[in-house]
Amino acid sequence: MAAHKAVGVDIGGTGVKAALVDVSTGELLSERHKVATPQGGEPEDIIAAVAQLLKELGSPDVEVGVTFPAIVRHGKTMSAANVSERWIGLEAETLFEQGLGRDITFVNDADAAGVAEQQFGAAKDQQGLVIVTTLGTGIGTAFIYRGVLQPNTELGHLQWKGEESAETLLSARARERRDLDWPDWGGELTDYYRHLELLFSPELFVISGGVSKKPEKFVPFIDIETPIAIAKLKNNAGIIGAAHLAHLSSAR
């Protein structure tokens, strides 16, 4: 039924992905379409990339949710991670709606992934605080407390060991750039997750992002007290969360 379908679009620093989603089950109802994030991450180019993906999906007449790697407040992007700094302070939701010719629901990318894992994945039915961390081009975080999203946590941007942000040293892209082997990366992530434990005392960490497809390579080397779960939705969490939030928004 159409009422149970929505499109999720997940914009990241390296790729833009989209699919049609069954929002009652979290299952993808189409192939996942993907294009590279336009070089420079300029607003016009990214909006055009999203328009292309919607066209490839057949421009279905359903709600559309769009994630973005930024603090999102009242539809405005208040930061810019791995995209053009022109996004900072933009009325981004309005720009997308104008460029796509349709209403959308606009949300931080890690928040969308966290909502998806809470609804359909590794954080489902968890009580207390769950911190979902997406390890990819950068590091995104989502706080889910008693099943409710606490939006716009940006713990990948904590100052870390002399760097402006933790993600500069610890993201999956940084691991490749620094040529760290998996055990060494797990060891460095240990320090990061222990710091988050000290600050927030979560009951569960969920590791999401592309590297969640190969947790055996690094998770055994993360030595912390808090349990770690691997994202069940893998790299589709942002798409699924965006679609779910778009459906919820339309139902209000």
* pLDDT single digits (tens) 169-187: 999 999 999 999 999 999 9
Cα within 13 Å of Cα(79), Cβ side: 16
Return the CATH number of the domain spanning residue range 2-107.
Answer: 3.30.420.40
pTM, to two decimals: 0.91
Mean pLDDT value of segment 29-49: 97
Homologous superfamily, domain 112-235: ATPase, nucleotide binding domain (3.30.420.40)
Rg (CA), the chain: 17
Asked whether the predicted pLDDT for residue 1 surpasses 60, the reply is: no
Confidence of residue 252 (pLDDT cuts 50, 70, 90): low
**Percent of the chain surpassing pLDDT 70:** 98
Domain ranges of the chain: 2-107, 112-235
Asked whether the predicted pLDDT for residue 195 surpasses 60, the reply is: yes
Mean pLDDT value of segment 52-65: 96
Calculate ∠ Cα 28-30-36, nearest 5°. 95
DSSP reduced 3-state for 195: helix
2-107 shares its CATH topology with 112-235: yes
Q: Chain-wide mean pLDDT for the chain? A: 95
* pLDDT single digits (tens) 126-146: 989 999 999 998 999 999 999
* pLDDT single digits (tens) 143-161: 999 999 999 999 999 999 9
Of residues 55, 66, 60, 63, the one with CA closest to residue 3? 63
Mean pLDDT value of segment 33-39: 96
Amino acid at the residue 228? I
